[in-house]
Amino acid sequence: MTVSIAMAGKGGTGKTSVACLIIRHLLRHGGAPVLAVDADPAANLGLGLGLDVGKTVGQVLAGFNENKLLIPPGLSKEASLNIRLNETIVESRDVDLVTMGRGEGAGCYCFPNHVLKSFIDRLLPNYRHLVMDNEAGLEHLSRGTTESVDDLIIMSNHSVKGVRTVGTIVGLVGELKLNVRRKWVVLNQCPAEVDPLVAAELDRLGIGIDATIPEDRLVIEFDWHRRSLLEMPGDSLAVEAVSVLMDKIGSIRFNEVEI
């Protein structure tokens, strides 16, 4: 069964970079093959993974809506759309990427959401892990793009606003009744000691931190040089911190299976 991991948090907290480092960890610890889904309209996950994005799901849906009257006789709308959606898959040795992209043209997301869900669900049996990088909100999760999420990584940077957004997301998960098995709060770009004001806000909201990821100059340099974060060295501070987080997640998951 495919294990699904989804990212959430305020914009600018480093969700995409951490998603890439999570995939890096999975590829080096028997977690391949991985399906990476970029559900952020900014569409930067491919860049972080060193994969060139061609068509996005948004572009396919826009083209489909414009030309759906040209579907050949005997071919259903859903079958026709699925053929085109397959063209959005960027394949590599151990990780494949699907990029949602931006909506282009009026009504490009009007076709029933279950088609997108069925597309992703049809792909999942071919992968051990799904890693979904989301935009700042929970729109793609609330659409039901995936049946459920095993691990939701809710990220904040070292700021009061970021922490407050974490509190909002935790509340939304409950309000939307999303099928999330485990929630993990991660403080990214974190100094050696958490600022008292940030710590006070965490206490006020009753939020515990499951992991901290320190500021890492290498992440910035890899971005500058358009290098894949999958190539980050093992002694990188960010890589080491993500490995600790993933070991913790794996341990909890293993204990749940044992129970």
Q: How confident is the model at residue 109 (pLDDT cuts 50, 70, 90)?
A: very low
Distance (Å, rounded) from C-alpha 90 to C-alpha 86?
Answer: 9
Q: What is the pLDDT of residues 227-236, one digit of tens each?
A: 999 999 999 9
The H or E element that residue 106 is part of is: none
pLDDT at 148: 81
Q: Average of pLDDT values for 222-228?
A: 95
pLDDT at 104: 53
Contact by Cβ (8 Å): 163, 207: yes
pLDDT at residue 108 tops 50: no
- What local confidence, expressed as pLDDT, does residue 258 receive? 47
Residue with tokens 């391949």: 32
Which domains, ranges and CATH numbers included, belong to the chain? 3-258 (3.40.50.300)
> Can you tell me which residue has the tokens 């294990």?
3
The span from the CA of 155 to the CA of 15, in Å, is: 7
Answer yes or no: is pLDDT of 27 > 50: yes
Would you state the pLDDT for residue 57? Answer: 85
**Rounded mean pLDDT, 221-249:** 96
| Greater model confidence, 78 or 185 | 185
User: pLDDT (tens digit, 9 = 90+) per residue, 34-74?
Assistant: 999 998 888 899 999 999 998 888 888 777 766 665 666 76
pLDDT tens-digit readout, 169-204: 998 888 888 889 999 999 999 998 999 999 999 999
- The pLDDT tens digits for 124-174 are 999 999 999 988 766 666 666 666 899 999 999 999 999 999 999 998 888
Side chain identity, residue 250:
G
Of the candidates 101, 96, 95, 10, the residue with the CA atom closest to the CA atom of residue 55: 101
Give pLDDT, residue 111. Answer: 46
